[in-house]
Chains A and B, each alone.
Chain A
Amino acid sequence: MAARIRNISQWKISILSASIGSPLFYLLSVGIGVGSYVNKNSTHGIDGVKYLTFLAPALLAQVAIQDALSDVTLPTLQGFKWEKNFFAMNATPLTGRQIALGTWLAGLVRVCITVTCYIAVMYCFQAIHGLRPLLATLTALFGAASFSAIMLWATAAVKNDELFLTIVQRIIIMPLFLFSGTFYPLSSMPIYLQWIGWLSPVWHSTEIGRWLTYHHHLSSSAIAFHFLYFATLLTCGLTLAVRAFERRLAK
């Protein structure tokens, strides 16, 4: 366990030595800009609240997942292929399991920071009120952690690394961004496109986030379903990832 923490601290240095992006500007520009337009054209705003409030938890979920994604795929590709750090670690008493879990945890470090900044900005712009929305940081983190577990496995298991990043960008990140009900309610999409949202971790995380921040309506079975989705992703992801790491390190 202690070794895992050290593993994380190593990644922290590597990751933070690269630049920390600022997704806040997105929230500000899109939220306020588009939001004022939407609010002007509808007396009830959207989903019962003004657009900024509608958008904010969605972007929180989105950015948490996106950050976790890159902070897990890039170090894994680096560790196995580009710089082969993982093989160096493997020559020490560390086990494949520790390396896998350490990489996963390290990927969440930046997410924690981003999510905290985000929620602070949301409060500043009065997109949210009260203390309950703070829980949305935890759920966003949970969502990001679960999805990154699956991506950890995918990155470790993929044979042909060259196109992997491009494919991930086109097939995963783009649809998640556009089809998860971030900028508009998912129900306003035609039914044959909604299924993308249902599969998307961003949508699940957004729904919970919205429920926590402005009491967006969710039945208790829906809430349970969303959490179950993430719990499944997390357990399957980590189990498969650990196995993939062990196999790849022992070859």
Chain B
Amino acid sequence: MSCIPLLASEREGQSSRYPADMSQRVESFAIGEPLIEASGLQKSYGDFTAVAGIDFEVRKGESFGFLGPNGAGKSTTMRIIAATLTRSGGSITILGKDPEVQGPEIRAHLGVVPQQDNLDRALTVEDNLYIYGRYFGLPKKFIREKIDELLQFAQLEEKRNVKVEALSGGMMRRLTIARALINEPEILMLDEPTTGLDPQARHILWDRLFRLKEQGVTLLITTHFMDEAEQLCDRLVVMDKGTIMAEDSPAGLIKKYSTKEVLEVRFGSGRNVELADTLRSLCERIEVLPDRVLMYAESGEDLLHTLVSAGVQPLTSLVRRSSLEDVFLRLTGRTLVE
């Protein structure tokens, strides 16, 4: 598949078709400079605190993730960044602007892919894209050309004149992402992008997002899937109950909060807890889960040998790499997916 130049800045030698007045409104940021800076960000609904004073920074050109279970405050934070939700406290600037003061200007440079698709089902694929483009005040000619590009990107060319209600879930999700790109956003925000998709659709989506990342679009993703976080994010933040527990690259987090490998063993009902103390003496750290015990060590195979030679024979055993799930478990004592 050809790599489609999605950014006006990429078309060297051609005059940019992107409306001049819109690009001039954003001060130019260099790669690596912070596009979003938040300090003490807070959001409460009456007694309930969704976001309890968090600090973070998103840099241009990176793929930044919010990882955490449902109810952690990820979506709320995203909506504050998208300048559609007013914060209760703290400060945040997006592209150098305060969302409460310059909301529309910020939104002009964002692309938002919400958790649930909110396309207009009675309209066709093309009409959905066209109208959305018009909401940004983009010129008709620009939009028409952009639609061709985006349909190709989303692999929806044949569905151009099909009503959205006739599309499958995966196609609707691809359309929502394509729609979010119509204004060539500086920052593309995706809230749980692959929730509810089958494995094949997930991989197609990851591929598309990866290409966007290669083209320099700054990605902001929330997810509760650790494989998604590991695959897509350069840096991520682990959130739970409205606070940030840790921040680093996926590899950095794993290195810091977990060992290189994990040995998962089962001993049958009840015995897992019984043997806990014995197991603990054999390795750096263990986690006792309802159905299995996780034993953390630099080498899982070696640990298994040690275990067996100590006379402890597990029913089943599995050696695997440490993942962000283990990081989360270490930080909060709970699994990502309840």
What is the interface of chain A, defined by CB distance below 8 A to chain B? Answer: 2-3, 6-7, 9-10, 13-14, 17-18, 83-85, 87-95, 249-251
Stretch at the interface among B5-13, B32-40, B102-110, B300-308: B102-110
Interface centre among A7, A17, A92 (most CB of B within 10 A): A92
A57 to B276, CA, bound (A): 86
Instruction: Contact check, A85 vs B107: say whether CB atoms are below 8 A apart.
Output: no
CB of B334 within 8 Å of the partner chain: no
Instruction: Contact check, B103 vs A249: say whether CB atoms are below 8 A apart.
Output: no
What chain B residues lie within 8 Å of A90 (beta carbons)? 84
From the candidates B82, B116, B131, name the one contacting A84 in the complex (CB within 8 A): B116
* 19 extra interface residue pairs, beta carbon distance < 8 Å, beyond A88-B119, A92-B183, A94-B135: A3-B137, A6-B131, A9-B131, A10-B120, A10-B123, A10-B134, A13-B127, A14-B123, A18-B122, A83-B119, A83-B120, A88-B118, A91-B107, A91-B110, A91-B114, A92-B132, A93-B104, A93-B108, A95-B104
CB of B26 within 8 Å of the partner chain: no
What chain A residues lie within 8 Å of B120 (beta carbons)? 10, 14, 83, 85, 88
Instruction: Contact check, B85 vs A250: say whether CB atoms are below 8 A apart.
Output: yes
What chain B residues lie within 8 Å of A95 (beta carbons)? 103-104
What chain A residues lie within 8 Å of B112 (beta carbons)? 91
Instruction: Contact check, A250 vs B86: say whether CB atoms are below 8 A apart.
Output: yes
Nearest-neighbour CB distance to chain B for A13, whole angstroms, equals: 6
What chain A residues lie within 8 Å of B114 (beta carbons)? 87-88, 91
Nearest-neighbour CB distance to chain A for B120, whole angstroms, equals: 6
Supply 29 A–B pairs (Cβ within 8 Å), ascending by A: A2-B137, A3-B137, A6-B131, A6-B135, A7-B135, A9-B134, A10-B123, A10-B131, A14-B120, A14-B123, A17-B123, A83-B119, A83-B120, A87-B84, A88-B114, A88-B118, A88-B119, A88-B132, A90-B84, A91-B82, A91-B107, A91-B114, A92-B132, A93-B105, A93-B108, A94-B135, A250-B84, A250-B86, A251-B85
| A-B pairs under 8 A by CB, number | 69
What chain A residues lie within 8 Å of B320 (beta carbons)? none
| Cβ-closest 6 pairs across A and B | A93-B104, A6-B134, A92-B135, A84-B118, A91-B112, A88-B118
A13 to B131, CA, bound (A): 10
What chain A residues lie within 8 Å of B86 (beta carbons)? 250
Instruction: Contact check, A83 vs B127: say whether CB atoms are below 8 A apart.
Output: no
From the candidates B108, B123, B136, B183, name the one contacting A13 in the complex (CB within 8 A): B123
Interface residues on B, range: 20 to 34
A2 to B119, CA, bound (A): 22
Instruction: Contact check, A85 vs B118: say whether CB atoms are below 8 A apart.
Output: yes
Nearest-neighbour CB distance to chain B for A248, whole angstroms, equals: 11
Given contacts A10-B131, A13-B127, A250-B84, contact A92 B118 (CB under 8 A): no
Given contacts A84-B116, A250-B84, contact A93 B137 (CB under 8 A): yes
What chain A residues lie within 8 Å of B131 (beta carbons)? 6, 9-10
From the candidates B121, B127, B136, name the one contacting A92 in the complex (CB within 8 A): B136
Q: Restricting to B67-84, which residues have a CB under 8 Å from any CB of A? A: 82, 84
A7 to B136, CA, bound (A): 11
Identify the closest chain B residue to A5 (Cβ): B134
A250 to B79, CA, bound (A): 9
Nearest-neighbour CB distance to chain A for B222, whole angstroms, equals: 15
A90 to B110, CA, bound (A): 12
From the candidates B84, B105, B121, B127, name the one contacting A91 in the complex (CB within 8 A): B84
A83 to B128, CA, bound (A): 13
What chain B residues lie within 8 Å of A94 (beta carbons)? 104, 135
A156 to B187, CA, bound (A): 31
Nearest-neighbour CB distance to chain A for B195, whole angstroms, equals: 16
A88 to B117, CA, bound (A): 9
Instruction: Contact check, B107 vs A92: say whether CB atoms are below 8 A apart.
Output: yes
What chain A residues lie within 8 Å of B119 (beta carbons)? 83, 88
Identify the closest chain A residue to B179 (Cβ): A88
Nearest-neighbour CB distance to chain B for A157, whole angstroms, equals: 19
